[in-house]
Structure 1
Amino acid sequence: MKKYQFKLQFNEEKIKAIKVSLKDKNKNLDEEIIKFLDSLYSKNVPKLLKKYIEEGFETEDKTKEAVKEVEKEVPKEEKLSSETLDNNNKKY
């Protein structure tokens, strides 16, 4: 799987404090960030999208099917607000 590299800006003193605190607990900042990102992925990505990513669909048709299935999972309120935004952005 292809890796994504982050470049973030954060208070340097806070980073130093985090590193020192983690070192006292025999932990590593990079590993803790990866655990956090894995947790975000687990909690927020729909099951069908996870399945798609893990199986690595090869054809465009399968991709379209997966997107349709994910759209079914999206609550109607979110769909309506997206449609409303799309309609508000149209030029007349």
Structure 2
Amino acid sequence: MTRVCQLTDDRKYYLCMEPVDMRKQFQGLQGIVNEEFGRFLTQDEAFIFIGKTRKTAKVSCIVRVIDNSDTERLHRVMVMGKKAYLF
């Protein structure tokens, strides 16, 4: 899972300047991306959200994952702390 969380030069990063309720899941954060940035999440972009207390952050992005059968799939990913969640 560490490869999923790496920051790379081939991705554009957007920081949401307003504090975000960290109880929001992927769909809630996608709504912020749509409303505040006027964008949809694509494979070459990542959006960073900071909590109200500024102690937590979430990153939403899309990654390409190749499973054991060499099948390539795109997954929506939300990273919070050291945990990454695939959707």
TM-score w.r.t. the length of structure 2 is: 0.22
TM-score w.r.t. the length of structure 1 is: 0.22
Q: With a CA cutoff of 8 Å and minimum separation of 6, indicate the structure with the bigger relative contact order.
A: 2
Q: Which has the higher helix share?
A: 1
**Whose radius of gyration is greater, 1 or 2?**
1
